Amino acid sequence: MLYYSTNKTVKDVALSDVVIKGLAEDNGLFMPNYIPVLPDMFYKNIDKQEFRDLAYTVAYMLFGEDVHANVLKMMVNDTLSFDVPLVGVSDRIYSLELFHGPTLAFKDVGARFMSRMLSYFIQREDDNRKVNVLVATSGDTGSAVANGFLGVEGIQVYVLYPKGQVSPVQESQFTTLGRNITALEVDGSFDDCQALVKSAFLDKELNEALKLTSANSINVARFLPQAFYYFYAYAQLKKISEEAAANMVICVPSGNFGNLTAGLIAKKMGLPVKRFIAANNRNDIFLQYLQTGEYQPRASVSTLANAMDVGNPSNFARILDLYGHSHEAISKEISGYRYDDTQIADTIRACRHETGYLLDPHGACGYQALKDGLLEGEYGVFLETAHPAKFNETMEQILGEEVVLPDKLVEFTKGTKQSLPLPADFAAFKSYLLKNA
């Protein structure tokens, strides 16, 4: 499979280059030349398959021309070493729990898959300089990428995160690892971190001196494997009820929109999703676009659902591309909702009291959007993108009850924080990389 850039001046790029480069040279995002469609038989029997097996079928359609079948199978099995259960929460609303991976957030899937794929492609290259992975994080990306890449040979990871704006538990997951993981604490916002990383990829001098790539959802190997669990959501819902599966609406708490875009691609591969809902916090640039047809990125604001604090969602370019830049087509497929912090807290409380289910602040946006947007006869699945204990201080303030940290998280918090302060200034970042990478 070959790939083109959403800016259309770069085309027919091999997957190995797409994964190693991250962003296209014209600053666009890579897209597959075509989207393979799975036969009806696959969907008919999907509920009889294990997660890993159905994910492998999907992976083979997407990556089978470029990665040896045995290796691809290993990548899938290695990535999906944890379950993604579908749990009923309230009437016709289900939670797809994506938080049973090593860092308790959905990004474990993409990060683990990408680390295996990148390592596979760099081993096949003649160039044996190490690859530097730059990743901007508002919390969860950093931990998932750092843990996914920890100890992978030939790869050095730099995690840039906004000082004081990630929860202590999140911070501990990428600042305590050491080895090939370096945490850079930026005196600025998440958007500043993302801008630093973007500028680095566009800087000629830097790219001549160093091999740089991105592990944000701009990277195909990070965002595309997220399609796997949409198929599994359908498979599990079908097992519960054929009627529910035939009327499935998927709601995605969104920030950079990589997760949602993977779902849109799953639908183009034939997955019977009736429609999508994008749930936002106060950073509702996408909702504004749906309502007005105008895309107006703006500075992000901090909210309780901090992994969704994104003012200029990078995968918007992919969504436009998938629907031929038609606002009408996009609005037909996706609707939007937004919730402020008070509403997020109210939802967490109400859901806990009415159903017993514990939502995290991101999942709360997803759950509430289904409550508000689900039509009669529809069945809603929201992606529960992180374990509530990752935000235990917030959760305790909202609920007045203790949220127990799973053992996996306790281990991280025991480590010593190691991070380097960095101003939100590209010249400083560049000279740091040139000196240290």
Ligand X SMILES: *Cc1c(COP(=O)(O)O)cnc(C)c1O
Catalytic residue among 8, 44, 73, 107: 107
Classify the C-alpha dihedral 134-138-143-144 as positive or negative.
negative
Which string of b and e fits 248-286 if b means at least 16 CB within 10 Å? Answer: bbbbbbbbbbbbbbbbbbbbebbbebbbbbbbbbbbbbb
Which range of residues in 28-36, 113-121, 257-265, 348-356 is near ligand X by CB under 6 A? 257-265
- Residue 254 C-beta: closest distance to ligand X, Å: 4
Per the listing, tokens 């967490």 go with 348
Per CB under 6 A, the list member of 5, 156, 172, 256 interacting with ligand X is 256
**SS3 category, 436:** helix
Which range of residues in 125-133, 231-239, 251-259, 321-329 is near ligand X by CB under 6 A? 251-259
Which range of residues in 67-75, 147-155, 255-263, 367-375 is near ligand X by CB under 6 A? 255-263
Q: Which of residues 374-393 bind ligand X (CB under 6 A)?
A: 385-386
Q: Which of residues 121-160 bind ligand X (CB under 6 A)?
A: 140-141
Per CB under 6 A, the list member of 30, 120, 257, 367 interacting with ligand X is 257
254 lies in the site for ligand X, by CB under 6 A: yes
Per CB under 6 A, the list member of 55, 86, 184, 307 interacting with ligand X is 307
- Residue 162 C-beta: closest distance to ligand X, Å: 14
Token code pair at residue 328 = 């009408």
- Residue 407 C-beta: closest distance to ligand X, Å: 20
Amino acid at 368: Q
What CA–CA distance (Å, rounded) separates 268 from 261? Answer: 11
Q: Which of residues 96-115 bind ligand X (CB under 6 A)?
A: 105, 107
Contacts of 85 (CB under 8 A, 6+ apart): 96, 97, 100, 236
List the Cα angle 61/84/238 in 5-degree steps: 70
Per CB under 6 A, the list member of 132, 194, 259, 368 interacting with ligand X is 259
Active site residue 107: yes
Cβ(237)–Cβ(46) below 8 Å: no
Applying CB under 6 A, the residues found at the interface with ligand X are 105, 107, 140-141, 217, 253-260, 307-308, 362, 385-386
Among all residues, which ones are annotated catalytic? 107
